[in-house]
Chain A
Amino acid sequence: MSAKPSQAFMGLGLYSQRGLQGYIPNRNLTIATGQILNWTFSVTNRMNKAEFVMIITRIGSNSTLSPNATTPTTTLPQLGATEQFTNDGETSRISFNWTIESSYQVAGLTYLNISIAGQSPISSAPVGTPSGRNFRLIFELWTFDPVSGSFQYGYPGQTSQVGVWLQVWFNAS
């Protein structure tokens, strides 16, 4: 008897206990300097095999490129990366705590120093925005490819890699 047909996929989600503090895409999420945000990634593995995943966090703005279904935004500054092994059929939860440590202005643009999981802050440069508005955190899901021995953007689909990413817009105050 043949196995039930199913399409393999990986899912990436982000939430907080307070629903991302009332987050509405592209609006109203204003984050104060020093405010600690405790968010959680949820990674769903329906690949019919265990996966070694990595979530890369980047910072962008409304004037920077977005990742897409095939290409990550490797040109944007990487703020951090977190890795996790996930079993098939499992939804893993990974803590993501971050804060804006400080901000500075150069030539009318505001740049941020962001710290993830209490580590040393990393500058958002060259990404800066007027008045600290319209920043966005971009999260890309990468999976480990045992053949090449490296992480690949997205997950292996039927014909090619399938890119998985999400973003959260915010203003810095």
Chain B
Amino acid sequence: MRTLRPRSLTLLVCLLVSSIFLLNPPHHAWAQSTELQTAKQDLVQAFQSIQTAERQGASNTDLLPLTVQLNTALQYEEAADAYFRQGNNSASVYYAVQSIDISTQVSYQAQRLGNTAQTTTLYRTTLSYVLAVVVALLSAVAILEVSRIRGRLRQRRLLRARIDYGGGKHAE
């Protein structure tokens, strides 16, 4: 038993180490820096913000400049990645930060555009409903009161009409 204990301990340690690797696979030879990872995540997030803004009704024309900006952010991220692979960490961080800045701005602007579009859509829908109700009410009133309106009109016409007694002919 005593002789087995160190072996089982070794086995246990080996199993634990293996399980750590199973849970968190070892990083690739060029594990990315925090800034680079953030840059990649922010690019995707900004892209999703643009798609959300589209769903909320933002126009293509408004979103086009954001896509252009996002492509610039992508270029910076690619540059950061290339520098990181070359081992130039400071240049990599510099370009990653540039990318993050642009992506963040794009996300913010996309959200703003989306919210504006949503508010405008809501306003237009509400206005359409209100107008529809008003028109319906006016139509109902007009249909129900059409006979009365006609009577009034006839009455007015009668009141305005001149009464000819035929007096002129008798005088001659």
List A residues at the B interface (Cβ < 8 Å): 49-50, 52, 83-90, 119, 144, 146, 149
Closest approach, in angstroms, between the C-beta of B46 and any C-beta of chain A? 9
- 25 chain-A/chain-B pairs, Cβ below 8 angstroms: A49-B51, A49-B54, A49-B55, A50-B50, A50-B51, A50-B54, A50-B63, A50-B67, A52-B47, A83-B78, A85-B47, A85-B70, A85-B74, A86-B67, A87-B60, A87-B63, A87-B67, A88-B54, A88-B60, A90-B64, A90-B67, A144-B47, A146-B44, A146-B48, A146-B51
List B residues at the A interface (Cβ < 8 Å): 44, 47-48, 50-51, 54-55, 60, 63-64, 67, 70-71, 74, 78, 82
* Interface Cβ pair total, 8 Å cutoff: 39
Residues of B close to A86: CB separation below 8 A: 67
Residues of B close to A52: CB separation below 8 A: 44, 47
B65 to chain A: closest residue by CB: A87
Closest approach, in angstroms, between the C-beta of B68 and any C-beta of chain A? 9
B41 to chain A: closest residue by CB: A149
Closest approach, in angstroms, between the C-beta of B18 and any C-beta of chain A? 27
Residues of A close to B60: CB separation below 8 A: 87-89
Residues of B close to A119: CB separation below 8 A: 82
Closest approach, in angstroms, between the C-beta of A89 and any C-beta of chain B? 6
Closest approach, in angstroms, between the C-beta of A118 and any C-beta of chain B? 11
**Complex A-B, nearest 7 residue pairs according to Cβ-Cβ distance, in ascending order:** A87-B67, A85-B70, A50-B50, A85-B67, A52-B47, A87-B64, A85-B71
B48 to chain A: closest residue by CB: A146
Bound together, the chains give a CA A85 to CA B44 distance in angstroms of 10
Bound together, the chains give a CA A31 to CA B54 distance in angstroms of 44
B72 to chain A: closest residue by CB: A85
Bound together, the chains give a CA A88 to CA B51 distance in angstroms of 10
A50 to chain B: closest residue by CB: B50
Could you list 12 further interchain pairs (A-B, Cβ under 8 angstroms) beyond the known A50-B63, A85-B67, A87-B60?
Answer: A50-B47, A50-B54, A50-B67, A52-B47, A83-B78, A85-B71, A87-B67, A88-B60, A90-B64, A119-B82, A144-B44, A146-B51
Closest approach, in angstroms, between the C-beta of B67 and any C-beta of chain A? 4
Bound together, the chains give a CA A91 to CA B55 distance in angstroms of 21
Residues of B close to A90: CB separation below 8 A: 64, 67
Residues of B close to A149: CB separation below 8 A: 44
Closest approach, in angstroms, between the C-beta of A52 and any C-beta of chain B? 5
Closest approach, in angstroms, between the C-beta of B69 and any C-beta of chain A? 9
Q: With A49-B51, A50-B50 known to touch, is A84 a contact of B63 (CB < 8 Å)?
A: no
Whether B51 lies near A84 (C-beta < 8 A) is no
Whether A84 lies near B64 (C-beta < 8 A) is no
Closest approach, in angstroms, between the C-beta of B43 and any C-beta of chain A? 8
Closest approach, in angstroms, between the C-beta of A114 and any C-beta of chain B? 18
Closest approach, in angstroms, between the C-beta of A93 and any C-beta of chain B? 12
- A49, A89, A119 interface centre (most CB from chain B within 10 Å): A49
Residues of A close to B82: CB separation below 8 A: 119
Bound together, the chains give a CA A81 to CA B96 distance in angstroms of 19
Closest approach, in angstroms, between the C-beta of B167 and any C-beta of chain A? 67
- A50, A88, A89, A146 interface centre (most CB from chain B within 10 Å): A50
Residues of A close to B70: CB separation below 8 A: 85
